[in-house]
Structure 1
Amino acid sequence: MRSTSSTIRTHRAARTAAAVVVGALALSLTACGASDDKNSDGDKNSGGTTPGAATVTLPKLNGRSLEVAAVWTGGEQANFKKVLAEFEKRTGAKVTFVPAQDPIVNFLGSKIAGGQPPDVALLPQPGAVKQAVQKKWAKPLGAEARAQITKNYSQGWQDIGKVDGTQYAAYYKAANKSLIWYNAQVFENAGAKEPARWADLLKVAQNVYDSGVTPFSVGGADGWTLTDWFENVYLSQAGPDKYDQLAQHKIKWTDPSVKDALTTLAQIWAKKNYLAGGPDGALQTEFPVSVTQTFTGGAQPKAGMVFEGDFAQVNIGETKAKVGTDAKVFPFPAVGAQAPVVSGGDAAVVLKDSPAAQALVTFLASPDAATIQARLGGYLSPNKAVPLSAYPNPVQQKMAKALIAAGDDFRFDMSDQAPQAFGGTPGKGEWKDLQDFLKNPADVAGTQAKLEKDAAAAYGNGS
């Protein structure tokens, strides 16, 4: 899961969001069960939507067939198919899920060249949305979809679905990518407490290591997990203004602020014994395994902590660990003055302009669709009309509440704002450069040079 336009760069500093997230997640994260955010018929904390109630009118589409493409696999794909089943039930249309490969723009390009584009695609990067518009693949959203977006989304989430002022995308899924999950039994055995600052995280890592457990599981085979590590360190250490400038390539990757962030990352990445399997093992570990191996093996898992977003709950659910009891979470610690808040998301885009395709995106922009997937877990929606009670446990309810309360005060995933050749292609650009850095964290200057060369080529402003 990874996940813009110039509007993102006008967002206010992330302080409010950081405070909200830190405050919400610092509360006691208890086992799944009844929440203090009660919400059946009139939750004062919800958007007033009764779970399961139809709030959007959809046309009858009997006999129509649709294809929707996304890179989701496993639990994410299975849960999304349940949402599509509800659309089928309400409209009479037949929807087929088309598994896409990364980078999805390349996948769609081959489908379009072959004359078989899907009707709708879920794009995990704003840069991909912009590319789809530039290639004239994406179609503007219709009035019904725009009405749902205006009604249910904050201005910031509306704006990142626009290109040159036109609404092309509806953000169906959001992610809080500033979280570290930990094995509660490992922390208890190590006498470790949830850290609030980077220096505290380093102390916790040493405590976990001294207790006989490797501190971190890193899914380095998926380069996007490494860009997320960098972005959280950089946002907190360099600040939101520098973050925006680097996201636009208005400053170079050879800037001293990048050196500082890479040097900070090396405080963990350079300690081979801190990484499950060492750097070589991390580079062979895909994201889902990085999560599951943290929560299997009882009191002796392969690692005590794993960094990634709220969506890690889907993978935790594949183990016997219970979120809130066995698997707990804390906000990414502050490196600088403020803790970072990095968001990502997946946006629905119409590729074949038809009443059926527009109806599907309208449905995905409504609280009806998001409420279904929220109940299944491992999912957050930026749709503010989704009731908190739809989320299946107090941990996720607090995450959802923090996301909505943050409003426009967040920073979108930097690599997802970049041209896909730099920020979203396996084996190339930032993904590959940071994988090389994980292998050799001593080469800060060389990594900066490679990052700048690849960024300049992708942004088309230098060599």
Structure 2
Amino acid sequence: MRSTSSTNGKHRAARTAATLIAGALALSLTACGSGDDKSDDSNETGTETGTTVTLPKLDGKSLEVAAVWSGAEQANFKKVLAEFEKRTGAKVTFVPAQDPIINFLGSKVAGGQPPDVAMLPQPGAIKQAVDKKWAKPLGAEALKELRENYSQGWQDIGKVGGEQYGVYYKAANKSLIWYNATVFENAGATEPKTWDELLTTAQTVYDSGVTPFSVGGAEGWTLTDWFENVYLSQAGPEKYDQLAKHEIKWTDPSVKDALTTLAQVWGKKDYVAGGATGALQTDFPASVTQTFTGGDQPKAGMVYEGDFAQVNIVQAGAKVGTDAKVFPFPAVGDAAPVVSGGDAAVILKDSEAAQALATFLASPDAAVVQAKLGGYLSPNKNVPESAYPNAVQQKMAKALIAAGDDFRFDMSDQAPQAFGGTPGKGEWKALQDFLKNPKDIAGTQQKLEADAAAAYGG
């Protein structure tokens, strides 16, 4: 079996701890779900706490940063890079990358032109970059910032073989379901806390004349996130860790149970906007915006995805906390799931400028710039809650930091990219096929296991 995370065992949290975190998140989201939006219109950048990190003067230096981000996410990150330019005098160019980013970087390395820094969305990708001898270890200044600002768990997932390569600049709470407040009000629907209650809420929304769910099935990663939340809650954290490392097979009965549960939504006639065909043609941004446009008759009443959906909600002209509300992914088993994701800065060309950028991204200063713009969470524990633009996101940030090391990282992101991070292949493709035919549970398991065995090397 190929290991994709040398420190995965350190992230094992007790089921009771996950329950407490999920409960606290549920309480905080409920408390701020009635429109107590404090400063949603703020678009200012800069830090609230002043300059906390010392950076070298880099006049005349230039560097490239590659990431798969697009749209508002890319635009907001460019403002962070602009702040770095302002402080150092360096010139930074953003290089749009394509999934899987390891393949993109491979072509750049082969051509002799790798970017100086890459934002890698998977621990598995960090390990691959280290194994290929592309990645360079973090220097002393970056390590100092990381140790001061990050919990041990967030440091560890950026390590390979005990050495620090990644700075997890961006985090995600992937255990959320967003809903159109007007649709819920018109239907008389309530926020569910369990999977059975979610199905009841969905039927209530359906009976009111609105399709319950929007699913961005054109992008397979959204489907892996659905699966992971159901699996973590239903099978439990120990099984989750085992499946993430391929210590148990995808033909395990626990996977069958999770797919059977998913089919209660994906296989329910008229529960998914556009049906399976429509969902498979809907990308993630559209899955969000179509939930919050169309007045009281949007294409769907709910959409599952992480806190970063806020960017698309705002683009749809909706206000977070008023038009768009949110509840934690409901408990399927004993405890509600707490799944996190993130993007790590990894140095590919070791230079003073690249190390300075990694140091900046590990500091609160960089995170505050992007936090103010919305649609972003930082695992940096020294970013003030007040940096986030609305009460909903402030509560999410508080819950993320309060969780400390008690979280489960996105399972597909821990896998080799051939299985967990490649469009049209592996887990992404198998779950897209399952969305199309939710009755084929056994066939889906067999395909998942065959692809996983090949990717993990046995």
Same fold (TM over 0.5): yes
Q: Secondary structure at the match of 1:452?
A: helix
Residues 59-98 of structure 1 mapped to structure 2, 5 A cutoff: 59-98=56-95
Q: Which residue of 1 aligns with 2:24?
A: 20
> What is the identity, as a one-letter code, of the residue corresponding to 2:265?
I
Q: Secondary structure at the match of 1:344?
A: strand
Deviations 1:188-244 (A, max 9, x none): 011000000000000000000000000000000000000000000000000000000
Query: Which residue does 1:446 correspond to in 2?
Result: 443
Secondary structure, counterpart of 2:270 in structure 1 = helix
Give matches, 1:323-362, under 5 Å: 323-362=320-359
The answer as to 2:2 corresponding to 1:5 is no
Question: Could you tell me which of 100, 105, 110 is aligned with 1:103?
Answer: 100
Distance in 2 separating the partners of 1:23 and 1:357: 41
- Paired with 1:155 and 1:221, the residues of 2 have a C-alpha distance of 35
CA distance in 1, matches of 2:277, 2:119: 32
- The equivalences for 1:379-390 within 5 A come to 379-390=376-387
Letter in 2 for 1:8: N
Deviates more, 1:4-13 or 1:117-126: 4-13
Of 39, 46, 56, 2:53 maps to: 56
Give the alignment of 1:230-249 within 5 angstroms. 230-249=227-246
Residue 158 of structure 2: aligned partner = 161
Q: Partner of 2:38 in structure 1?
A: 34
* Residue matched to 1:297: 294
1:428-443 correspondence to structure 2 within 5 Å: 428-443=425-440
Contact 1:5 1:130 in 2 (8 A): yes
Following the alignment from structure 1 to structure 2, what is the Cα–Cα distance between the partners of residues 68 and 408?
A: 28
CA offsets 1:288-344 (integer angstroms, 9 cap, x no match): 000000000000000000000000000001012100000000000000000000000
Which whole-Å CA distance do the structure 2 matches of 1:384 and 1:253 have between them?
A: 36
Is contact 2:47-2:368 (8 Å) kept? no
State the Cα distance separating 1:271 from its structure 2 match. 1.2
Alignment of 1:147-296 (within 5 A): 147-296=144-293
* Residue pair 1:50, 1:387 contacting (<8 A) in 2 also: no
Give the Cα separation in 2 of the matches to 1:57 and 1:30: 41
5+ unaligned residues in a row in structure 1: which ranges? 36-48
Tell me by how many angstroms 1:29 deviates.
1.6
Distance 2:119 2:332 in 1: 33
2:43 aligns with none
> How many angstroms apart in 2 are the aligned matches of 1:28 and 1:196?
16
State the TM-score, normalizing by the size of structure 1.
0.95
Check whether the contact 2:34–2:321 (CA below 8 A) recurs between aligned residues.
Answer: yes
Is 1:312 the counterpart of 2:302 in the alignment? no
Give the number of aligned pairs.
445
User: How far does residue 25 in structure 1 lie from its aligned partner after superposition?
Assistant: 1.7
Aligned residue for 1:242, secondary structure, equals: helix
Contact 1:32–1:392, Cα closer than 8 Å, also in 2: no
Q: Secondary structure at the match of 1:368?
A: helix
Paired amino acid for 1:301: P
How far the C-alpha of 1:7 sits from its partner, in A, is 1.8
Q: Give the aligned residue type for 1:238.
A: A
Aligned-residue offset at 1:18: 2.0
1:398 aligns with 2:389: no
Describe the SS at the equivalent of 1:243: helix
What is the percentage of aligned positions where both structures have the same residue?
80
Query: Measured at CA, do residues 50 and 379 of structure 1 come closer, stay the same or move farther in structure 2, by a change above 3 Å?
Result: closer
Letter of the 2:314 partner, please give it: G
| Kept after mapping to 1: 8 A contact 2:10/2:153 | no
Deviation of residue 50 (structure 1)?
Answer: 6.7
Deviation digits for residues 379-398 of structure 1, max 9, x if unmatched?
00000000000000000000
Q: Distance in 2 between matches of 1:9 and 1:283?
A: 35
Amino acid at match of 1:122: M
Contact 1:32 1:322 in 2 (8 A): no
User: 2:342 corresponds to which letter in structure 1?
Assistant: G
Check whether the contact 1:181–1:308 (CA below 8 A) recurs between aligned residues.
Answer: yes
